Structure 1
Amino acid sequence: MPKQRPFAVALVTSLCLLTAACADSSTDSKETTDKTDNAAAAKAGYPVTLDNCGVTEEFTKAPSRVVVMNGASVAEVSTLLALGVEDRIVANQQTYGASEVPGRADAIKKLPTGDVKQNDAYDIPREAMLGLRPDLVLSTTSYGYDEKNGFATRDQLQQTGANSYVSPKGCDQDTSGMTIADSYQLLRDMGKVFDVSDKAEKIVADSEKNIAAVAAKVKSEKKPKVMVLFSNMSMGGNDFSSVVAKGIYNDILAKAGGANAFEDASETSFADLSKEKVAATDVDALVVIGYNDPNPGAYAKKLLKEFPQWPAAKNNTYVTLSDSMYLGPSNDLAVEKIAKMLHPDAF
């Protein structure tokens, strides 16, 4: 609805002082406008209802003030960028510092941050969140709505008129069962919310096509044992606490014709391993994920030098990745890059 100019508003106000009929006219105008807005929303496919982690969220129109929480993720912000709705973001806290998609890292840097100072839990504190006046808040897991960590709860957000969303497999903060299909679910959910489902389906279809083509090329190849870990990151008490055990990473490896060398090392997404355990495992190839690390390649080379007995070290077999290896719209790029590293003769 076009905004009224200040002069027009003043003129209408003056006339209202002279005649009581203005009240009826104003009411009729508002009712007409509401009907027009409702008709437009219905035509666009609203209302949209999502059952998200046991919470029913109803959207009567596309969100216009979106806050993206940190969550050590780029899944949500990358999805919004891929769908072309980044102009709705009023505060983004996600960044990997790099991307396999040309221009994405720079695009993320240009997004508004809301001038938020993160709390001790490395995310947006409750008071700052409510001050941003969001109509949609996105979090990778339910952790982002935990009151004990100083965050605004989903109930508190709902009371201010804001919807909230937890990405697939994030309800119980256990992402060990995550697969590429969850990236597609995130795309489809946001496609519905922002009325860009056609674009979401196009991204999903292209990704599925690319992954199927790669998987077909490596189908009959031997599956090398791959170590996947985040560079220069500590998540536990041992020397190697950022080693991937389960989650979407394994699905990506499988599609690329590989297998996780440490899949049985933990029941959770990450294994906390000693140097001795790592040294005793045959590693055929290395995938290093750079989370805000400007030089993950240097970390990869350091590891290969530290464990010269690995086949990966003898053959210098490694690749560095960033956001494509995580939940998000670009998993097909990770599948292709890893497959070309593991099976170069198939391409």
Structure 2
Amino acid sequence: MPKKRPIAMVLAGALCLVTTACAGSSTETANNKASAPDAESGYPVTIENCGRTETFTKAPGRVVVMNGASVAEVSTLLALGLGDRIVANQQTYGMSEVPGRAKAIKALPTGDIELNDAYDIPREAMLGLRPDLVLSTTSYGFDEKNGFTTRDQLGDVKANSYVSPQGCDQDTSKMTVADSYTLLRDLGKIFNVSDRAEKLIADSEKSIAEVSAKTRGEKKPRVMVLFANMAMGGNDFSSVVAKGIYNDILAKAGGANAFASASRTSFADLSKEKVAATDVDALVVISYNAPDPTAYAEQLLKEFPQWPAAENNTYTVLSDSIYLGPSNDLAVDKVARMLHPDAF
């Protein structure tokens, strides 16, 4: 097995843009900028979020995006054409299914923050950024015992805060593509660009429906989904997906998770023997800043030649589209084409 790359926190769901040639739910507004609304007549806007009521009197203009081992929030802002509202972004990714997105994210300001041991923004640095909105993938990003600014403390300085769908209790095992649409809708309301959000959602729904129709009635191959070169537990395979949005994407693409019953949480921590004893028809490797996810996938197929996936060389590599975020339709399409090539 390739050397594993440890992470300092559990992946959130998580774990999701500058060209105008991309269509549907993955299109970015040119230059990642949205012109300010002609009027603020859409305010105040109230959002119920994790038991809190957040009221916005105007569109936020100083947005901070916390890390959270995700790109859902920053990608959604870019998809809505709101990149110019970000004063500090800590979400990064090495690749994307959307042309230009990784480059657009890399170009965003970081606030020149010295991150804490959790690779995120500590309390004093956060307050120094003078945000009017802070986005976090889960409530972990507002946990005082981890050195973060609480939502109450942000409220004291007139800053709103938002935790993404399914992130309130830090359990993303029930996350679905519908949660990506909720994130789009909520940010659309907050920034008074609901028309853009609804267009992205409608295009995504249409694309996914068309793909699902092509694979309906076909046998559902058993798919192993895991992160490349990542250690999240004590066994050889500790970053294997068991539940969450990944399974919804597999189902919409005409597949099923081979390890769905291996854990009650989003990820399973499996021995090499358990993996070897499971029939795997196809492999999906998720790259989270991995240097060579394709090589990792090919090495896995060599390591388990008894898999049908190895016999047929059936694998694909995905990145941000399989996370919570605005581009789940791209993941559905790519997985479906891998599992059911004759349908396309």
TM over 0.5: yes
Q: For 1:214 and 1:151, how far apart are their aligned partners in 2?
A: 42
Deviations along 1:97-136, one digit per CA (max 9) or x if unpaired, are: 1100000000000000001121011211001100100000
Deviations along 1:47-106, one digit per CA (max 9) or x if unpaired, are: 000010001100000000000000000000000000001100000000121100000000
Which residue is equivalent to 2:132? 135
Deviation at 1:294, TM superposition (A): 2.5
Q: For 2:291 and 2:71, how far apart are their aligned partners in 1?
A: 16
Which residue is equivalent to 2:120? 123
Which residue is equivalent to 2:79? 82
Higher-Rg member (1/2): 1
Report the secondary structure of 2:231's partner residue. coil
Q: For 2:290 and 2:77, how far apart are their aligned partners in 1?
A: 23
Alignment equivalent of 1:160, drawn from 147, 154, 157: 157
- Is it true that 1:195 corresponds to 2:192 in the alignment? yes
Which residue is equivalent to 2:24? none
Which residue is equivalent to 1:219? 216
- Is it true that 1:233 corresponds to 2:215 in the alignment? no
Residue 71 of structure 1 aligns to which amino acid in structure 2? G
Q: For 1:231 and 1:221, how far apart are their aligned partners in 2?
A: 29
- Is it true that 1:297 corresponds to 2:313 in the alignment? no
- Is it true that 1:60 corresponds to 2:57 in the alignment? yes
Query: Which one has a larger percent helix, Structure 1 or Structure 2?
Result: 1
Which residue is equivalent to 1:112? 109
Deviation at 1:295, TM superposition (A): 1.2
- Is it true that 1:319 corresponds to 2:302 in the alignment? no
After TM superposition, the runs of 4+ consecutive aligned structure 1 residues lying more than 4 A away are none
- Is it true that 1:48 corresponds to 2:45 in the alignment? yes
- Is it true that 1:249 corresponds to 2:231 in the alignment? no
Q: For 2:265 and 2:145, how far apart are their aligned partners in 1?
A: 23
Alignment equivalent of 2:264, drawn from 264, 267, 270: 267
Residue 106 of structure 1 aligns to which amino acid in structure 2? K
5+ residue gaps, structure 1, are 1-38
Which residue is equivalent to 2:280? 283
Which residue is equivalent to 1:170? 167
Deviation at 1:40, TM superposition (A): 3.9
- Is it true that 1:182 corresponds to 2:162 in the alignment? no
Higher mean C-alpha deviation, range 178-187 or range 90-99: 90-99
Report the TM-score when normalising by structure 1. 0.88
Deviations along 1:242-263, one digit per CA (max 9) or x if unpaired, are: 0000000000000000000000
Structure scoring higher RCO (CA < 8 A, sep ≥ 6) equals 2
Q: For 2:114 and 2:337, how far apart are their aligned partners in 1?
A: 41
Q: For 2:291 and 2:102, how far apart are their aligned partners in 1?
A: 12
Report the secondary structure of 1:228's partner residue. strand
Residue 249 of structure 1 aligns to which amino acid in structure 2? Y
Deviations along 1:189-247, one digit per CA (max 9) or x if unpaired, are: 00000110000000000000000000000001100000000000010010100000000
Residue 327 of structure 1 aligns to which amino acid in structure 2? L
Report the TM-score when normalising by structure 2. 0.89
5+ residue gaps, structure 2, are 1-37
Q: For 1:343 and 1:120, how far apart are their aligned partners in 2?
A: 43
Residue 340 of structure 2 aligns to which amino acid in structure 1? H
Which residue is equivalent to 1:343? 340
Residue 177 of structure 2 aligns to which amino acid in structure 1? I
Which residue is equivalent to 1:12? none
Q: For 1:269 and 1:238, how far apart are their aligned partners in 2?
A: 16
Residue 246 of structure 2 aligns to which amino acid in structure 1? Y
Residue 150 of structure 1 aligns to which amino acid in structure 2? G
Q: For 1:239 and 1:146, how far apart are their aligned partners in 2?
A: 31
State percent identity of aligned pairs. 81
